Structures are given as C-alpha cells and as structure tokens.
Structure 1
C-alpha cells in the first residue's frame, strides 16, 4: 500500500486547541485535520446535539411537499410511499410510512422488484398506484432523474413528491415537490444527507407543522442511523448528529425488527461499524435475494415474535447471498485472468447468469484483488445491468457520464453507480470506459492507499488517549477512525499466524524501551517473515480495545506493515 502521512496542520491552530481544550498535541492535531479549530466547533463535535439539526423548511420545495401531504390527508386520498430496495430506500420507506400511519390510515408502501422493475421509479409501480386508487406517491432515495416516469404519472392524475440525494440531471422531473439538497438552486446548509435522511427532513417538517417536537421523532432515528452507515455518506454535520442519536436508540430501545436482527450479537454496545457489517447486510439481503418488501415488513413490525420470524427468514437470505457472492467472485477473477486483463486500468466483466442481487458486492470484492474502477454486468431481461464501484479519489460517475452514449441509463455517486445497456453495446462500452479511465486517472490511484493521521510513539498510547479517541465516534467518511504510524518497532518473539489457513497475524511488539503491546493483523498472515529475528519494522494501525476473559486491554489493529 501507499502510505500517505497527512501533513502536520498549522502549529498555531493546534496550540490554540491544546490550550482551550486542555488536550495533548495528538488530539488537537486530529481535530484540526477534521476542520475543527475553535472551542465551539469542538463542543459541537464532541457533544452533538439535536438542536444542531437545521430547519427542514430551508430545503427547496419543503413547504410544497408538506402542503400537498396535508391536502391529501384532508381529502382522504390514498398515499403510496415508494422507495428503492436497498438499505437506504427500505429504511426511508419504513420511516415515512411509519410516521404517516401514526396518524393517517390511508398509506401503503411499494418497493420495486430488483429483477422485474430494476432501480428507481417504475412504470409498473405507477400502474399499481393507478389500479389501487393512489393519487399521491412519495418517492424516497430515487426519482431525481425519472423525468418520463413522472410525466407518465401526471397523465394519470397521480402527483409525485420526490425525496432524493443523488445528483440531478440538467432537467428536474415535473413533480409537485423535488426535495434534493444537491439541487443547484437549493440552499439547504447540508447537502450530504442520504435518502433516508431526506425522508427524515420531510417527517421533521410535517412534525413541526403538526406542533410536534424532535422528541416525538426519536423512535425513527434507528432507521436513519442504519441508512447513514450503510450508504457510506460523510460522517459530518447533520449525518453525525443523526447517527449518534440513532446509535443511542439502537443500543437502548431499537424497534422490534432491528432488535431481532441483533439479538445474537454478544457486544454490549454496537458501533457504526457493527451497523455496517451486521445490520445493513441483512436488510440488504432481502432485496438482493428475494424482495425489498421483506425488509420493510421487518422494519415496520411491532410484534417481537413476528419480527423474530421475519429476521430468521432474512438471515437465511443473507446466508444465500454470501454463498452467491463467493462463487461469482471466483468466476469473475478467473475471467479476468483468462482474458489477460490484469494489466488494464479498469475491470469490466460480464456473465449472463450472475445473480443481479450480488454484483455490487462482487465489484467490491474484485477491487480487493485488482485495485481498479470495476463494473460487473449480468443479463437482466433483454438488457445488461451492472453495478460499478470505484477506488479512492476517482469519480466513477463522471467517467460513466463521459461514455454515456453507450448506456441506456445510469445513476449513482462518485464511488458507486448502476447502469443498463443493450447487449450489443457491451464491447464498445467496455473499451470506451477503459479509454476514459486511462486518460483521467492518476497512476497513484491504482495503488491502494492508507491515509495516516500522525506518526506517534508507543509511549503516547494510554487509556486517556483511548477514551478521547472513543469520543470521536461515530466514525465514517471525513471522520474516519484515526490511523497512526510508528517506526522502529520490534516483535518480542511471540509473533505467529492464527486463524483458518493462517491468514491472520498476531504480534507482541515494543518500540525502544516502551511497554509491549499486542497487534492483530487481519489478512496479514503472509507478512510474518518480516517480523522475525528482531528485525525493525514500521507499522500503521488503529488503536483498539480488546476484551478477553472480562479484561479490557489496548491493542493495535494493523492497517499495513513494512520493513523499517
């Protein structure tokens, strides 16, 4: 890996924080790196408050959205809450429908079928609304590019409110209200909300209109925190506030569906990382393997026994998903080797029988082996559908936009996107995508990078540092778990490999005359030789707490290792 040590921030700013916060240089440095330079900013960072949430009516079209929903309630119209089949979409649908149903009965939900309808607003969903007497559709985590779909609905006298967070195209859909903080004409102070976050702002606005307070909405924050974690949006501003209080709900009084998903987890306190790796994949598995409706059913179920039954079914879907993504990853890696494509700037693979529900996961797996912008295609009806994933600092959305003449449709973010194309266009697209990436990517971006916050000595590591680092949570993009580097490290002779196939590395290391400290390196088993014979090494790592037999001790979780 490339080791990128962040430059030391301005000494004056660091010293100022050291003085006003009474913290040491390491903590002050980490704060300045995160844009925190004043006592007030530090207070907001360490003590997030629901008072820090912005007024939802600052979002463009929010007044129109609330007015149309209140009109629908007054006229006893049927409201359909429509959302994508992933975690962000299904949590958003569960949140908005759950809130509306708390005081209005004529509300139903609709999640499109990943295989039959594909991503986003579908003509089938609009036809369902018409056939069942729905005159208002609230679309969540999708719709910002659904120009023709909205026109189709308008012709059937069905109104749309769109709540999205994806980048708009040149033209906005002709909906009653378009809530998207990424709209160029929207001056909302924070534009990094996820789809469920935008849905929450709509609920917050409705609650204000109905003289409710934020306390009345706390029960929905477990959903918002789950979506923020799963959608990998920046852990800053409102996202950090909502994630922090949502985590508190998950750990204290989660809804029955989430409680059922985590009942076998032995940890006392779940972190955002646990949400990413335990809760989110299971919610996602419903839409990947069966149908996103199952996720909404789980998240809106208030009977604990019924929720446990739903959770057991979703657990089976998740197990099936794991088997599928392992199998397809093996096949995709073999295809790359057989086609002599290991030296390309991109990875683009296709097999018509690959399961559409796991190709996004497979794309991420391929990046672990071949660190390139990656797209995995499969057959979907008479078209090819794909999921794309990118490497750090490369905007795959812009690259797709540059070759969009080969695509039927596409959408997404800097690091993840989805698309469809005609099968006959696949070879031309593959070469055009390779060409545009080759022309625009910096060669350094094709080597995995570990970003290091600071170089420290083992003598700097103590319980007080750990307590302060814990207060940096919740972690996520733009507020990642701090990574440190230490040189002149020597294993004391206890180094060994552990785990199935000896894939992990366990060390007990010292630096100069420091006390020894344990190191765990997941996936670093093959690096054991460079630690032998008291050879000095350099390591970069996160500081962890390890609980064993009721005793908690500090340990280092390895990010990379190399000879000194």
Structure 2
C-alpha cells in the first residue's frame, strides 16, 4: 500500500486551537484538517445542535411542495409515495409515508422492481398510480431526470413532487415542485443531503405548518441517519447533525423495524460504521433478493412481533445474498486465473447465471484481490448487464465513455456505474476497456492508498486522547476515522497469527526504549507476520479502537498496514 501523509496544517493556527480547547497538538491538527480552526467552529462540531438545521423553506420549490400536499389533504386525494429500491430510497419512502399517515389516511407506497422496472421512476409506477386513482406522486431519491415519466403522469392528470439529491440534467422535469439542493437555481445552503435528507426537509416544512417543532420529528431521524450512513454522503454540516441525533434514536428508541434488526445482533450500541455494514446491507438485501417493498414494510411496521418476522425474512435474504456473492466471487476469480488475466489492468468477467442483484458487490470484492477497475457482467433478457467499480483516483465513467461504441446504455459516476451491451459486443468491449484503462491509468493508482492524518508517538495514546477522538464521530466522507502512523516499533515476541485459518495478526507492540506494550490487531494481515518476527523494527499505519474482552475494556491499535523500518 502507498502511505500518503496529509499536508501539514498551519502550526500557529493549530497551536492556538490546541491552547483554546485544552487538547493535545495532534487533536487540534485533526480538527484543522477538517476545516475547524476556531473555538466556535469546534463547539459547533463537537456539540451538534438541532437548531443548526436550516429553514426548509430556503430550498427552491419547498413552498410549492407544501401547498400541493396541503391541497391534496384538503381534497382527500390519494397520494403515492414512490422511491428507489436501495437504502436511501426505502428509508425515504418509509419516512415520508409514516409521517403523512399521521395527518392523512390515503397514503400508499411504491418501490419499483429492480429487475422488471430498473432504477427510478417507471411508466409502470405511473400506471399503478392511475389504476389506483392516485392524483399526486411524491418521488424520493429519484426523479430529477424523469422528464418523460412526469409528462406521462401529467397527461393522466397526476401531479409529481420530486425530492432528489442527484445532479440534474440540462432540463428540470415539469413537476409541481422539484426539491433538489443540487439544482443550479437552488440557493439552499447545504448541498450534500441524501434523498432521505431532502424528504426530511419536506416533512420539517409540513410540520412547521402544524405548529410542530424539530423535537417532534426526532423519532424519524433513525431513518435519516441510516440513509446518511448507507449513501456515503459527507458527514458534514446538516448531515452531521442528522446522523448525530439519528444515532441517538437508533441506540435509545428506534422504530420497531430497526429494533427488530438490532434484536438479532449482539451489539449493544451501534456506531455509524455498524449502520453501514450491519443495518444497511440487510435493508438492501430485500431489494437485491426479493423486493424493496419488504424493507418498507419492515421500517413502517407498528407491531414489534410482526417486525421481528419481517426482520427474520430479511435476515434470510441477507444470508442468501452473502452466499451468492461469495459463490460468484470465487467463480469470477477462477475465471480471471483460467484466462491468465492476473496481470491485466482491468477485471472484466461474465457468466449468464450470475445474480444481477449482487454483481456490484462482487465487483467490489474482486478489487480486494486485484486492485484495478472492474466490471462484472450477467445476462439480462437478451442483453448483458454489468456493474462497474473503480479504484481511488480513476474515473471509470470517463473510461466507459471511451468504449461507448460497444455499449447500449450506461450511467453512473466516477467510481461506480452500470451498463448494458449486446452479447456479440462483449469481447470487443472487454478488449477496448482494457486498452483504454492501460493507456490512461496513472501507475501509482494501481496500488491501494492509505491516507495518514498524523504521525504520532504511541505514548500520546491515552484514555483522554481517545475520549476526545471518539467525539469526532460520527465518521464518514470528509470526516473519516483518523488514521495514524508510528515508526520504530517492535513486537515483544508474543505476536502471532490468529483466527481459524490464521489469517489475522495479533501483536504486542513496543516503541523505542519505552517498554510499555500496546495491543494491536491486523485483520487479514497474517501474511505480514514475517515482518515483525525476531524483534525486527517496523512502521505501522493504524486506527485507535477499544477492545472489549471478558468484561474489560482496553485501547488497541487497529492495524491498516505495516512496513519494515
């Protein structure tokens, strides 16, 4: 791995902040790296407040959206809440429908089928609204490019309100209201809300018309925090406030569906990382294996026993998903080896029976073995469909554009995309994609990178240091868990490989002449054991974490990488 040290911060600003806050220089440095360079900024960061949330009416079209919903309620209209099948979409639909049901009885929900309808607003969804006499559709986490679907609905006398967070195209749909902070003509102060966040701003506006305060909406923040975590949006500004309070709801009094999922786990307190890797995959599994409706039913269920049954079904879906992606990953790796493509610049694999719902996960898994832009194809009708994943710093979307002569359609962004092509174009596309990546990828991008926030001495790691470090959470994009490096380390001779298959590394680390030992664990780092034997010196990159064992809690280094000194 390449170790990249963050640029040095201004030493005077950092020293002054450390003095003002009464913290160590390293902790002040972490704050300055995050753009926090004053006492007031630090106070706002460490103590997020619901009063920091912006007025929802600052978002363009919010007044129109509220007016149309109020009209629908006054006229006793049927309202359809429509959202995508991923975590952001299903939490958005659960949020909006559960709030609207407290003020209006005629609310239905709709999640498109991943395979039959695909992403976003569909003609089938509009037909469903017409068949069920729905005169208003509220689309969440999708719709910003649904020009033709909105026009189709208008012809049928159905209005649209769009709550999206994706970048608009050159034309905005002709909906009654289009709420999207990324609209160029929207002056909303915070641009990085997820779809569920935009939906929350709408219910915040609706609530204000009823004399309700932000405190009354706290019970909905477990859904918003789940979406913020799962959609990998920056944990800054409003997202930090929403995630901070949403995590408190998740850990104290979550809705029955989330409580039922937590009920199946051994963890007592969930972090944002747990939400990403434990809660989100289970919600996603419903849309991947069966249907996103299952997730909405779970997240809106008012009876706990019924929620437990839904959660058990989704747990089974998640286990099926795990088995599928494990099996397909093994088959894909075998295919790369059989074709002698280990030294390629890309991984492009295909089998017609691979499950479309997990090929994106498999692409990410393959990058763990072969660190390079990756596409996993499967059969979809009479075409081939693929999920693309990239490595840090390489724009896979641009690379796909270079291969567009062989592609039917594609969409996505820098690090992830989806595409379809004809069966006969697969070999031509595969050759062209390899050629394009080989010609354009910088050599250094072919090696994984670790960003080091600060070089420290292990003696700096004290209970107080860690206590303050924990308050930087919730972690996520633009506020990642700090990674440190330390040099001149040795193992005290008791280091060993652990785990059923000896793949993990457990060390007792000593620094310099200081004989104090620090526990360290490196998951999937057993193959680096030779670097620490016989008191060889090494450097380590690591996070700092707590280890809970036999009722005792101690600090430990969570190793990311080690190198010989």
TM-score normalised to structure 2 length: 0.96
Give the equivalent residue in structure 1 for 2:391.
391
1:268 Cα offset (Å):
2.6
Secondary structure at the counterpart of residue 16 of structure 2: helix
Taking only aligned residues, the RMSD between alpha carbons, in angstroms, comes to 1.6
Distance 1:22 1:257, change over 3 A: same
Give the equivalent residue in structure 2 for 1:64.
64
Secondary structure at the counterpart of residue 368 of structure 2: helix
Distance 1:403 1:157, change over 3 A: farther
CA contact (8 A) 1:161 1:178 kept: yes
CA contact (8 A) 1:329 1:365 kept: yes
CA contact (8 A) 1:166 1:413 kept: no
Structure-to-structure mapping, 1:344-423, within 5 angstroms: 344-401=344-401, 403-404=403-404, 406-423=406-423
Distance 1:400 1:191, change over 3 A: farther
Secondary structure at the counterpart of residue 88 of structure 1: helix
Structure-to-structure mapping, 1:479-490, within 5 angstroms: 479-490=479-490
Secondary structure at the counterpart of residue 365 of structure 1: helix
Secondary structure at the counterpart of residue 485 of structure 1: strand
1:435 Cα offset (Å):
4.4
- 1:41 matched to 2:36? The reply is no
- 1:237 matched to 2:250? The reply is no
- 1:197 matched to 2:200? The reply is no
Distance 1:12 1:412, change over 3 A: same
Distance 1:76 1:407, change over 3 A: farther
Give the equivalent residue in structure 2 for 1:221.
221
Secondary structure at the counterpart of residue 317 of structure 1: helix
Distance 1:494 1:14, change over 3 A: same
Give the number of aligned pairs.
Answer: 564
Cα deviation code 1:197-235 (max 9, x no counterpart): 111111112112222211111111000111111111111
Please, which runs of 5 or more residues in structure 2 have no aligned partner? none
Structure-to-structure mapping, 1:282-301, within 5 angstroms: 282-301=282-301
Structure-to-structure mapping, 1:312-351, within 5 angstroms: 312-351=312-351
Structure-to-structure mapping, 1:102-117, within 5 angstroms: 102-117=102-117
Give the equivalent residue in structure 1 for 2:530.
529
Give the equivalent residue in structure 1 for 2:178.
178
Separation (CA, whole Å) in 1 of partners of 2:236 and 2:124:
37
Give the equivalent residue in structure 2 for 1:93.
93
Give the equivalent residue in structure 1 for 2:504.
504
CA contact (8 A) 1:167 1:413 kept: no
Give the equivalent residue in structure 1 for 2:518.
517
Give the equivalent residue in structure 2 for 1:550.
551
1:270 Cα offset (Å):
1.0
Cα deviation code 1:231-250 (max 9, x no counterpart): 11111111111111000000
Cα deviation code 1:284-321 (max 9, x no counterpart): 11111111100000000010100001111111111101
Give the equivalent residue in structure 2 for 1:459.
459
1:523 Cα offset (Å):
0.2
1:336 Cα offset (Å):
2.1
Cα deviation code 1:101-150 (max 9, x no counterpart): 11101110001111111111111111111111111111111122222222
Give the equivalent residue in structure 1 for 2:212.
212
Separation (CA, whole Å) in 2 of partners of 1:420 and 1:207:
43
Separation (CA, whole Å) in 2 of partners of 1:207 and 1:402:
48
Separation (CA, whole Å) in 1 of partners of 2:406 and 2:189:
36
Distance 1:531 1:504, change over 3 A: same
Secondary structure at the counterpart of residue 109 of structure 2: strand
Secondary structure at the counterpart of residue 532 of structure 2: helix
Give the equivalent residue in structure 2 for 1:273.
273
Separation (CA, whole Å) in 2 of partners of 1:427 and 1:147:
34
Separation (CA, whole Å) in 1 of partners of 2:189 and 2:351:
44
Give the equivalent residue in structure 1 for 2:188.
188
1:403 Cα offset (Å):
4.6
1:436 Cα offset (Å):
4.3
Separation (CA, whole Å) in 2 of partners of 1:537 and 1:421:
49
Secondary structure at the counterpart of residue 411 of structure 1: strand
Distance 1:398 1:191, change over 3 A: farther
CA contact (8 A) 1:363 1:388 kept: yes
CA contact (8 A) 1:285 1:318 kept: yes
Give the equivalent residue in structure 2 for 1:130.
130
Secondary structure at the counterpart of residue 500 of structure 1: coil
1:97 Cα offset (Å):
0.6
Separation (CA, whole Å) in 1 of partners of 2:138 and 2:562:
50
